[in-house]
Amino acid sequence: MTAVTDVTGTGGRVEEDCRPDVERIVADLPGQDLLPRKEGELAFSAPWEIRAFALAVAAHRDGRFSWPEFQGRLVAAIDRWERADPAERASWSYYREWLQGLESLLLERGLVDADELDARTHEFLHGVRDPKHH
Amino acid sequence: MSTDHVLPVRPDYNADPTPDPVVVARVKALESLLLEKGVLASETVDRVADLYEKEVGPRNGARAVARAWTDPDFKQRLLADPVAACAELGIGGMQGEDMVVVENTDEVHNVIVCTLCSCYPWPVLGLPPNWYKYPAYRSRIVKDPRALLRGEFELDVPDEKTIKVWDSSAEVRYWVLPQQPPGTEGLSEEELVELITRDSMIGTGLPRTPDSPAGAR
């Protein structure tokens, strides 16, 4: 789609803007052999994985941290998983580790507060925050 | 940068598609806090997410459409009771909302909107695209759908075809059963799934044809 005016707004145009950047980031991700892909493209198995992916990339693009800083956290999270005992390694999810890495960086920077995050998670879990309308 | 991790077991990423509710809630919580505090702009998140969301989310809907194209009995069930028909394919997640599938024909082209906010048949189509939420789409698709589809989505609906606009609400989510592209009758269900785009189930596009470029919406 090549929409450039108001309705789709950020539609086709912006996608073309940010795709090369995002692809550069993806090409540089740690654990390339662990990264779920389908036909070369990133493969996500659930919407939350895409949101988690987008949050980290967006926070970096908005200047909240440098990409190597995030990569370091992701590597650490994956390393931890690999060293965990086998019972804990029963299920593997790249984006679970991703989320863990992102969380640790945001908390450390004081961009998110741990208690607040727990409370908000609780609200979503119990439907307080998920209006029926969406 | 270390890229040479060795895993004891090669993980099967498709083994368990059931999301952990806690993880899902955690991501939502993180996003809502970051936006609220102004750490992130929602446009930045949406732009990155949109690169991938348009492929993953609509997969369930595409499976239902491909089945309907190849199995007339399933199609009848899908039109009569979409929630039950989707459940046959293991597609669930509707919580009390009803779902209505509207069928495109030679006479009628359907398109969906939510004029009030951004209600969307997310169990079948995933998360809505950004523009679906924009006031400009929500008002113009009602006032002049033909011009909007032509101008913004490069979709030319012939004048003799009626365009019906379906306004979703919290109670009823509509989505579109597109027409099967001519010349694809011999394809398998799996091949057909690849042709069915998100926009074709919103009504702002048509399914791909086997020779149209991949990556179209």
Domain range list for chain B: 21-52, 57-202
- Decide if pLDDT at A34 tops 70: yes
pLDDT in tens, B75-132: 999 999 999 999 899 887 665 568 899 999 999 999 999 988 778 888 888 878 778 8
Question: Under an 8 A CB cutoff, do A58 and B48 touch?
Answer: yes
Which position has the token pair 């579109």? B176
Question: Under an 8 A CB cutoff, do A42 and B46 touch?
Answer: no
d(CA B172, CA B166): 10
Q: What is the ipTM of this complex?
A: 0.83
- Is B179 in contact with B104 (CB distance < 8 Å)? yes
d(CA B132, CA B21): 26
Question: Under an 8 A CB cutoff, do A18 and B31 touch?
Answer: no
Residue A52: list chain B partners with CB under 8 A: 27, 30
Average pLDDT over residues B208-212: 82
pLDDT in tens, A53-111: 999 999 998 899 999 999 999 999 888 888 887 776 667 788 989 999 999 999 999 99
- The CATH class given to the A11-125 domain equals mainly alpha
d(CA B70, CA B177): 13
Residue B149 confidence (pLDDT): 95
Residue B152: list chain A partners with CB under 8 A: 3, 5, 7-8, 11
Domain range list for chain A: 11-125
B57-202 CATH pick, 3.30.2350.10, 3.40.190.10, 3.40.50.300, 3.90.330.10: 3.90.330.10
- The residue of B4, B24, B138, B208 whose CB has the most chain A CBs within 10 angstroms, and thus the best one to mutate to test that interface, is B24
Contacts of A33 (CB under 8 A, 6+ apart): B3, B4, B5
- The residue of A66, A82, A120 whose CB has the most chain B CBs within 10 angstroms, and thus the best one to mutate to test that interface, is A120
Longest pairwise C-alpha distance within chain B: 62
Question: Under an 8 A CB cutoff, do A9 and B19 touch?
Answer: no
| CA dihedral for A83, A85, A90, A95, sign (positive or negative) | negative
Averaged confidence pLDDT in chain B: 84
Q: In one letter, which amino acid is A15?
A: E
Residue B134: list chain A partners with CB under 8 A: 6-9
- How many residues comprise chain B? 217
Give the closest-approach CA distance of A24 to chain B in angstroms.
13
Residue A133 confidence (pLDDT): 43
Active site residues of B: 114, 117-119
